[in-house]
Amino acid sequence: MSVLVDKFDVFAGGFWLTLQICVLAAIGALILGAVVAVLRISPVPPLRALGTAYVTIFRNMPLTVVMFFAAFALPALGSNADFLRIPVLDVVFTRLSTDLPYFRFALIALVLYTAAFVCEALRSGVNAVSPGQAEAARSLGLTFGQNLRYVVLPQSWKASIVPLGSVIIAMIKNSALIGFFGVVGDLSATADQLTGAEGYAFIPVAIGISIGYLIMTVPLGALLDRIEQRQAVAAR
Amino acid sequence: MSQQSVLYDVPGPRQRRLTLILSVVAGLLVAAGAYYLIYLPLDEKGQFSLELWGPLIDPSNENFVLVWQRIWVGVQNTLIAAVLAIVCSLVIGTLLSILRIQLKSLTTRRFADSTAPVAYFLRGLSLGLSALTRVCVEVFRGLPVVITIFFVARGFPEFGITFDTLWYLVIGLTVYNGVVIAEILRSGMEGLPPGQREAALAIGLSPLQTTGLILLPQAFRIMLPALISQLVVVLKDTSLGFIISFEETLNIGKQIILALSNPIQVYVVIGLLFILANYSLSKLAQYVQRRLARGRKTAGLPPQNPPPAAVTAQAEASVV
């Protein structure tokens, strides 16, 4: 058990790095997912086809393939993902500006992959609004923008918050993959490092790593359960 | 398409003209973007040369047969691991969901027919066991699958138990997906109308019979789409075998890349294989869902509570 005390800074560092990539990927995925969702419900057929193709591709590919693909295809496209070295952000999230691009590649893969699920969550929310609402808004003479802003989106937001939360939880769990992909020092890489190369006993390390992930996933899951129960009561 | 009718009016002539113009412009923009941002840089680096693609698509290439033989081995291993993991997690998940339902109903029993200390002991025991299974479920559901697989592969040899790498992968996947399936089935059973359970108990079935004969079959039926999407998850998750160097499709791909150094081409092919398999599985899930919805209507059964969104959405999204 002494490893938990001796190496506490390693565990804490791993936790911090995992948290960093989760926060960044969540922001990126929410933005990109919203864009794709807009594409998927737009009235212009080619844009709709583009959104549908995006979702079909990324939902059905394992994240592992997306990650390796990002690592090989981006350099071939002539980019080391340097556009992610955003001036103010990289002071807080120092890994964004390191020379080894793996963190940025992993981040891009995670964003691309999660955005497909975010899009589906948002779209299922819009679908959950009963058609009569939008029809009534149109017959009142609200424009498309007003219709979305005052009638459809406030209701769809309620319906999509729980699925969105589940997607984010899944994303946190998926982020464990980055440690096996070449990002040094996140929680899963720490597990590999401590039990493999440094030869610490397995069980304490496993407990430490598990606690690190459970701190992030379990409270979020409990919160979602509560929101869902309250919504179920309100709907009754 | 139902989307269309909700948000927009049926387009008139002017709107149709506008849509057509916008479609052409957007189509051109997308095509131009794909050409200048993706095709040209790739072409410049020679990524479309037959030297790189040949082993994968040209039957006359010397490596073609060998490459596809290796990929076939990988596909077989992926399918074997996926089928084993699915069967094991279905069995484990069903048993676990029955156990949790039984324990939950035990916690409300007061054991009034036993003497006081025995009754207290039994109540404490059932409460404790119920809490224990709950904790197990929360822990294994909250851990990433990669970490579970990694723990299994590192942990078992630590205690002197070694298997084939296939079994590490299967056990790791089973632990995670078994728990998820158990939760799907449990929420399916709890979503049933309470009259089902009450009626079963009233005609004299034991609690175990009630669960096995009345609740579980209905839960399976309602949750079939969610269960099938879970199969997609398992199929995708087998690609995690690469962290314990199990020879599944992705790992074979890496070996091919080492030999032929054409990463982009190999990953395109492997990605296509996965998309094909998973897309047909999700289409199957949609078809089953439609069939079920129709069957319920014609049979005139009371509308059943839909599964909680959190369970199904998380199950569907937790794909790696």
Nearest CA distance, B290 vs chain A (angstrom): 16
Picking from B23, B143, B232, the nearest residue to A210 by CB comes out as B143
The pair of three-digit structure tokens given for residue B11, joined into one six-digit string:
């387009």
pLDDT of amino acid A85: 67
State the Cα–Cα distance between residues A38 and A54, nearest whole angstrom. 12
Picking from A44, A72, A172, the nearest residue to B26 by CB comes out as A44
pLDDT of amino acid A115: 92
Between residues A44 and B296, the one the model is more confident about: A44
Contact B2 A62 (CB under 8 A): no
Q: Work out the burial of residue B59: count CB atoms within 10 Å of its CB; fewer than 13 is exposed, 13-18 middle, 19 or more buried.
A: exposed
Picking from B41, B146, B240, the nearest residue to A77 by CB comes out as B41
| Structure confidence at residue B316 as a pLDDT band (50, 70, 90) | very low
Residues of chain A below pLDDT 50: none
pLDDT of amino acid A81: 65
pLDDT of amino acid B297: 56
pLDDT of amino acid B92: 92
Do B193 and B218 touch, CB atoms closer than 8 A?
Answer: no
The pair of three-digit structure tokens given for residue B142, joined into one six-digit string:
């909250």
Residue A129 is given by DSSP the state S
Question: A69: number of CA atoms within 13 Å, CB side?
Answer: 22
Nearest CA distance, A86 vs chain B (angstrom): 21
Residue B61 is given by DSSP the state S
State the Cα–Cα distance between residues B242 and B148, nearest whole angstrom. 14
What are the chain B neighbours of A147 within 8 Å (beta carbons)? Answer: 7
pLDDT in tens, A126-150: 888 888 888 888 888 888 888 888 8
Residue type, B233: V
pLDDT of amino acid A138: 84
What is the pLDDT of chain B when averaged over all its residues?
80
A41: nearest CA in chain B? B3
The pair of three-digit structure tokens given for residue A153, joined into one six-digit string:
């989106």
**Which residue is listed with tokens 């006081």?**
B116
Overall CATH class of domain A2-235: mainly alpha
3-state secondary structure of B162: coil
What are the chain B neighbours of A224 within 8 Å (beta carbons)? Answer: 310
| Structure confidence at residue B203 as a pLDDT band (50, 70, 90) | very high
Q: How far apart are the first and last CA of chain B?
A: 29
Do B132 and B152 touch, CB atoms closer than 8 A?
Answer: no
pLDDT in tens, B61-95: 777 777 788 888 888 888 888 889 989 999 999 99
Residue B11 is given by DSSP the state P
Between residues B273 and B1, the one the model is more confident about: B273
The interface pTM score, or ipTM, of the predicted complex is 0.83
Nearest CA distance, B140 vs chain A (angstrom): 9
* Mean pLDDT for the stretch of residues B307-320: 47
pLDDT of amino acid A18: 86
pLDDT of amino acid B202: 92
**Which residue is listed with tokens 């998973």?**
B278
Picking from A76, A180, A206, the nearest residue to B45 by CB comes out as A76
pLDDT of amino acid A32: 92
**Which residue is listed with tokens 């994240």?**
A63
The pair of three-digit structure tokens given for residue B294, joined into one six-digit string:
């129709």
Q: Which of 81-110 (A) contact B at CB < 8 A?
A: none
Which pTM does this prediction carry? 0.84
Q: Write the DSSP assignment of B286-306 as a string of letters.
A: HHHHHHHHHHHHHHTPPPPPP
| Structure confidence at residue B277 as a pLDDT band (50, 70, 90) | confident
Structural domains of chain B sorted by starting position, each given as residue range(s) with its CATH number in brackets: 57-317 (1.10.3720.10)
Do A27 and A107 touch, CB atoms closer than 8 A?
Answer: no
pLDDT in tens, B112-137: 777 778 888 888 888 888 888 888 88
Do A212 and B294 touch, CB atoms closer than 8 A?
Answer: no
Do B310 and B141 touch, CB atoms closer than 8 A?
Answer: no
Nearest CA distance, A100 vs chain B (angstrom): 19
- Indicate whether B38 pLDDT > 60: yes
pLDDT of amino acid B211: 86
Q: What is the Rg, in whole angstroms, of the alpha carbon atoms belonging to chain A? A: 21
Tell me the backbone φ, ψ of residue B193, rounded to 5 degrees.
Answer: -60, 135
State the Cα–Cα distance between residues A30 and A44, nearest whole angstrom. 22
Contact A224 B310 (CB under 8 A): yes
State the Cα–Cα distance between residues A103 and A50, nearest whole angstrom. 28
